[in-house]
Amino acid sequence: MKIKNRVGVMGGTFDPIHYGHLVTAEAARTTFKLDEVIFTPAGNPPHKKDYEVTPAEERYLMTILAINSNPYFKVSRVEIDRHGLTYTVDTLCEFKKIYGPDTALYFISGADAVLDILTWKDVRDVLNYCTFIAATRPGYPIEKLDQKLIQIKNLYGKVVYPLQVTGMDISSTEIRKRVKQGISIKYLLPESVELHIKKHGLYR
């Protein structure tokens, strides 16, 4: 089957979305020549047990506000509208059905998420449905990731592509902490998202 489209699926909890995510998606789009990138906020992520995740609708709205100015970016509700825990394998299966066999999917996520990928539900299917892109922050201990990539290749015969992203040294955890402590989050995320956080009293 000849591939006609390349679609990036930007998976993340986005609690909140910030410039690190946007820069990563744009870097993936240009590096892998993607026709579009679909931001897919996680609905009820199975792995977030250590803190209370902000309601999915709030994270979805912030994602819409953030991507507004980029014509190549879209936001999907597939995980928001799904009941129960949301697994990446189900999301990719849904996108495969929507886009059909002549579209190649690229799943973009943080390198730390990739380190855990062997524990994910139906990992073999996940790797079959898409090409996986693992974004790293500056100063990321790349050896740790390299070992995991070799392990994935040996077990499943699949290549995961690391993508070093300049200027990605921003984290949602740090933003939530700053808001709680009353420290400015200006210039870490789009102003529209900052205003939404203020207006709705998120992360206090």
User: Does 121 engage in binding with ligand NAP (CB under 6 A)?
Assistant: yes
Question: Rule CB under 6 A: is residue 171 a binding residue for ligand NAP?
Answer: yes
76 near ligand NAP (CB under 6 A): no
Q: Is 186 helix (H, G, I), strand (E, B) or coil?
A: coil
End-to-end CA distance of the chain, in Å? 51
**Three-state DSSP class for residue 115:** helix
Contact between residue 126 and residue 96 where contact means Cβ atoms under 8 Å apart: no
- Pick the binder of ligand NAP from 45, 58, 67, 190 (CB under 6 A): 45
Please report whether residue 59 would count as binding ligand NAP according to CB under 6 A: no
- Other CB atoms within a 10 A radius of the CB of residue 108 amount to 29
Residue, CB closest to ligand NAP: 110
Stretch that binds ligand NAP, among 39-47, 68-76, 147-155, 191-199 (CB under 6 A): 39-47
Interface with ligand NAP includes 120 (CB under 6 A)? yes
CA distances from 59 to 56, 65, 101, 106, 160 (A): 5, 10, 30, 22, 27
Instruction: Supply angle C-alpha 159, 164, 167, rounded to 5.
Output: 155
Please report how close the Cβ of residue 85 comes to ligand NAP at its closest, in angstroms. 8
Q: How far is CA 60 from CA 9, 82, 116, 151, in A?
A: 15, 13, 24, 34
Nearer Cβ to ligand NAP (8/104): 8
Shortest spacing between CB 131 and ligand NAP, in angstroms: 14
Can you tell me which of 8, 109, 185, 190 binds ligand NAP, judged by CB under 6 A?
109
By CB under 6 A, tell whether 8 contacts ligand NAP. Answer: no
190 binds ligand NAP (CB under 6 A): no
Element housing 104 (H / E): strand 103-110
The residues of the shown chain that bind ligand NAP, judged by CB under 6 A, are 10-13, 20-21, 24, 42, 45-47, 87-88, 108-110, 112-113, 120-121, 135, 171-173
